[in-house]
Structure 1
Amino acid sequence: MKKIFTLIMMLAATLTMQAQDTWTVAGETAITGISWTPSDEANDMTTTDEITYTLVKEHMMVKAKDAGYGYKVVKNHSWDEAYPADNALLVINEDAEYKITFSFNSQSFEVSATAEKTGEYVAPEGDQTWTVAGVAELCGTAWDPTLTDNDMTTTDQVNYNWKKEDVALDKNTPYAFKVCADHAWDESYGNDEGGNYEISVNEPGLYTVEIAFNSNTKAISVTTTKTADHSFAEKTWTICGKAELCGSEWDPADTTNDMIKTNEGEFTLVRRNVALIKDTEYEFKVAANHSWSESYGNDMGENQVFKLDEGLEDGNYDVTFYFLVEAKTLWAEAEVADPAGVTTMKADKASKFVIYNLQGQRVANNYRGIAIHNGKKVVIK
C-alpha cells in the first residue's frame, strides 16, 4: 500500500511538472540578443511561484531609441499565445551598456521591462552592414533583412548603394522596401514618416533600380531606368479582412474571395448572407495575386472600413465589394436581396459601372429602372 501511495505521489508530481508552462521573451535583437525568436531557450524566464516570471539580460549594448524596442512574452516557445497583443516597448534614452530585466505575471498577463545603465556604450567591431529588404518583386525574397545578396556597397562607410537590373515593374504599382542595419529589423529606415519607402513607375517594363542611402542622415533616394518592355499577366484581386465580413481572417490566399472582372479595370465580389451587426466597423483590403506585396484600403493607405448604413438593423445581408484598379478605389455596400433576386442600386454607384437593359443593350449612366449589372437584375434609383 505504501508503494502504491508513493507511485501515485510521483505520478502527480510528474504531471505537475509537465503542466508547467514555459514563458519566453522574444523581441528585437538589441534587447534580447536574437531577433524575434520564441524558441530561444536562452531567453526563457524563471519563476519561484509559477506566477511572477523574470528574465535578466546583462551587458547589453543598446543605442538610444525614442520609439522603443519591441518585445513580447510567448508561451511554450510558440506565437500561438503571446502578450501583449501589440508589442510592448522598452524606451532607451542613451547609448550605453544596460542590465535589462523583463517581468511577466502569468495571471494578469502584465508585461514590463526596465533598463539599468551599467556602463558606457562600446560599438561593435567593424562597420555596420546595410541591407535592402522589401517586397519579393524587388528583392527576390519578401522582407528578409538577413539576405546577404541585398547588402549595399560603400567606399566611405557613409554613402551606401544597391543596384539591381532587369527588375519587372508594373505601372502605378507601389513596391515597398526599407534599409536595415546589420541584417535585423532593430534599426531600419524608410520614408520620412517611419513607414516603408515605395517605388512606382509610369509604364510597365524591365528596370534597373538603384537605391542610395546615407548612413549619417538616413536619407534614401531611388533611381529607376527602363531598359526593356515587359508585359504582365492580369492580376487577381482578392478581398481579405475580418472573418465576420470575409469568411476568413485576413487571408489574401483565400480564392473564394477572388473578385470578378465586370469591365476593364473594374472588379466586384458578392458575399451573400453575411451576418452583420449595426454600428460595428468591419475592416478589409484588396490584395493582388494572393499576396500582401500589393494591397489597397482607403485613400490614406490604411484598412478600408465598412459598416451598415444608418437605419439598418442586425441581420443577414448580401455584401458587394467594388474595386476600381486605375483609381485604386475600394468600397463595399450591403443590400437586403429581394426574393425575386432583384436588388436596389443607387444611381451614383451605377454610374461607375457598365449596365445593360433587359434586352442586353448597354445603357447610359442616367438610366433609371430595372437593369443588368454583373449578371444580376438591379433596380437603379
Structure 2
Amino acid sequence: MLCFVTLTLQAQDVWTAAGSSTIFGSNWNETDTSNDLTDKGDGIWELTKTGCILEQNVKNELKILKNHDWYIEVHPEKANYVFKVEETGIYDVTIQFNANNFEINVKTTKTGDAVIGEKTWTVAGFKAILGKNWDQTAIENDMIKQNDNVTYILTKTNLTLAIGTYKYKICANHGWAENYGDENDSEGNASVFITRDGIYDLTFTFNTDTHEVSCVPTRKADAIIEKIWSVAGNEGLFETAWDEQSTANEMTKQENNIYILEKKGINLNAQTYEYKVCSNHDWTESYGADPSGRGNAILTITEAGTYDVTFTFNQVTKEVSATAVPSVTDGISQIASDIKTKKVIFNLQGQRISAPKQGVYIINGKKVVLK
C-alpha cells in the first residue's frame, strides 16, 4: 500500500525595524529588508546596525513591525521607541525585540568619534501657514540663526487665517530623520491656535540646545473668510455619528449670511437628537445651543416617522436651528404605507375603503388627497 503525505509549509513571520535614517539608512521604510531582525530563538529577535553617526541628546526613534506591514502588528503601538546617546560619535546599535511580551531594548556601543556640522532648520506643516503642505524641503521656510547661535527664527507675514488649529514641526537638514514638535501631541506636532479670523504674522522660534519649539501669532487686521459650514450629530439624523468630515452634510449659502441643509425622507424615532454646525470640517469653530459654541443644538421628534429636516445657520449671529416636517409622499407610496401600517381609510360618504384610488379620503381621522 502506498501512503501519500501532504506537507504544508507556512512562512515564518518576519519582524522589521523602521525609524530614523541615521540608524537604518532608509527613513521609516517598512519594506527595507536590510532592517529585518534575526530570530535568536525563544521569541527573541535582534538587529545590529554599525557605523551610525549619533548626536548627543538627539532623539533616535524606531518601531518594530510584523511582515513589512504597518497594519498587521506594530510595537510600540502608539508612541515611538526613543533613545539618546550622551556623547556624539560613531556607534554600533543593537536592537533586541521580545516577541513574547513585545519589549524593546537598545544597546549602543561607541566605536569612534564624529563631528556634526552646522544644520539647516526648517519649519514644515499646514499649507495655510507655510505656503506648502508638510514640505520639509521648502527653503523659503528655513529658519534664521540668531546672535546667540542657539536660537533660530522664521517669520511668515500677512497670512489670512480662519479660526482653527494649525500644525507644524521643525526638521533638520530638510529631512524628517531629526524633527521636533510637541511630545504631548499624538503625532508629535506643535500647534498654532487661532481664535479669531484675521490677517496674521507668525513668528516660529526653535532652540537647538533645549529643542523647545514655539510660535507666536500677531493679529494685524480683520479678514472676511469664506468658510465651508457643515452639520454633524447623532446617528439616525445623519448617516454617521458626529462626522465633521462628511461632505454630504455641507450647507448651502443663501442670502443675508444664512446657510441651510435639507435632508429629506429621514426615518426618525420619537426621541431627542443632538447636532452642531462646524466650519471647514473641523470642531475648532462650531456652534450649537448658543452663539458661544457651548452645548449641542437639539431637535426633538415627538412621533416616529419619515421626516424632511431643514437645518439653518446664521453666520453673523451664530444662531442654529432645525425644523422637521413629515415627508410628503405620492399617492402610490401613501397607499403602500397605509396598507403596511394598517391605517383605517374612509371615503367622504363614510364608507371604509380597502384599496383607495385617486381622490379625497379620511385616513385615521385626517383628510388626505391621494394623487
Partner secondary structure for residue 137 of structure 1: helix
1:177 maps to 2:164:
no
Query: For the residues of structure 1 that align with 2:73 and 2:230, how far apart are their CA atoms?
Result: 32
Say whether residues 1:338 and 2:299 are aligned partners.
Answer: no
What pairs with 1:288-303 in structure 2 (closer than 5 Å)? Answer: 288-290=279-281, 295-296=283-284
Give the Å deviation of 1:162.
1.8
The SS at the match of 1:56 is strand
C-alpha contact (below 8 Å) 1:23/1:77 kept by paired residues: yes
Q: Determine which of 13, 17, 24 is the counterpart of 2:16.
A: 24
1:45 corresponding residue in structure 2: 37
Q: Which has the larger radius of gyration?
A: 2
Separation in structure 1 between the aligned mates of residue 25 and residue 237 of structure 2, nearest angstrom: 40
TM-score, normalisation: structure 1:
0.57
State the one-letter code of the partner of 1:196.
A
CA distance 1:175–1:88, shift in 2 (3 Å): closer
**Matching residue's letter, 1:130:** W
Q: Quick check: 1:235 aligned with 2:228?
A: yes
CA shift, 1:340, in A, is 5.3
Q: Distance in 2 between matches of 1:133 and 1:72?
A: 23
CA displacement at 1:30 relative to structure 2 = 5.1
Give CA deviations for 1:89-143 in whole Å, capped at 9, x if unaligned.
24447345452313152xx5x4332232312885553212211122221123333
Distance 1:201 1:353 in 2: 15
Q: Letter of the 2:190 partner, please give it.
A: N
Size of the aligned set, in residue pairs, is 301
Per-residue CA deviation, residues 139-180 of structure 1 (Å, 9 max, x unaligned), is 23333444444221326542322233443223x433332323
- Kindly tell me: are residues 354 and 249 of structure 1, through their superposed partners in 2, closer, same or farther at Cα, counting changes over 3 Å? closer
- In structure 2, which of residues 27, 30, 47 is the aligned counterpart of residue 35 of structure 1? 27
Pairing 1:56–2:48 present: yes
Question: What amino acid sits opposite 2:227 in the alignment?
Answer: E
CA distance in structure 2 between the aligned counterparts of 1:99 and 1:195, rounded to whole angstroms: 27
Asked whether the 8 Å contact 2:16–2:68 carries over to 1, the reply is yes
1:220 to 214, 218, 239: 214
C-alpha distance in 1 between matches for 2:241 and 2:214: 35
User: Secondary structure at the residue paired with 1:78?
Assistant: coil
**Which SS does the other structure have where 1:94 is aligned?**
coil
- 2:311 matched to which residue of 1? none
> What is the CA distance between 1:188 and its match in structure 2?
0.5
Matches within 5 A, 1:263-282: none
**2: distance between equivalents of 1:285 and 1:195?**
27
Greater shift after overlay, 37-46 or 191-200? Answer: 191-200
CA contact (8 A) 1:236 1:258 kept: yes
TM-score by length of 2: 0.58
Q: What residue is the counterpart of 2:129 in the other structure?
A: 138
Identify if the C-alpha distance between structure 1 residues 169 and 20 changes in structure 2 by more than 3 Å, giving closer, same or farther: same
| CA distance 1:256–1:231, change in 2 (3 Å) | same
Q: In the TM superposition, what is the alpha-carbon distance from 1:374 to its structure 2 partner? A: 0.9
- State the distance in 1 between where 2:68 and 2:236 align: 30
Give 1:375's aligned residue.
323
**Residues 118/49 of structure 1: CA separation in 2 closer, same or farther (3 Å cut):** closer
Q: Would the alpha carbon gap of residues 49 and 264 (structure 1) be closer, same or farther in structure 2, given more than 3 Å must change?
A: farther
Aligned partner letter, 2:95? T
Out of 159, 169, 192, the position equivalent to 1:198 is 192
- 1:336 Cα deviation after fit: 7.4
Contact 1:88 1:111 in 2 (8 A): no
Residues 88/134 of structure 1: CA separation in 2 closer, same or farther (3 Å cut): closer
The 3 A distance-change label for structure 1 pair 39 and 248 is: farther
Amino acid at match of 1:256: A
Shift of 1:213: 3.1
Structure-2 change in CA distance of 1:178 and 1:330 (3 Å): farther
**How many angstroms apart in 2 are the aligned matches of 1:124 and 1:191?**
28
User: Do the aligned partners of residues 168 and 353 (structure 1) sit closer, same or farther apart at CA in structure 2, a change above 3 Å counting?
Assistant: closer
The one-letter code of the counterpart of 2:109 is: T
Determine whether 1:89 maps to 2:37.
Answer: no
Q: Are the equivalent residues in 1 in contact too, given 2:20–2:27 (CA < 8 A)?
A: yes
Q: Do the aligned partners of residues 43 and 261 (structure 1) sit closer, same or farther apart at CA in structure 2, a change above 3 Å counting? A: farther
Q: Residue 291 of structure 2 contacts residue 318 of structure 2 at CA under 8 Å; is this kept in 1?
A: no
Partner of 1:211: 204
Instruction: Give the Cα–Cα distance (whole angstroms) in 2 for the partners of residues 266 and 49 of structure 1.
Output: 65
SS at match of 2:50: strand
Q: 1:260 to 1:78 in 2, by over 3 A?
A: farther
CA separation of 1:118/1:285 partners in 2, compared to 1, >3 Å: closer, same or farther?
A: farther
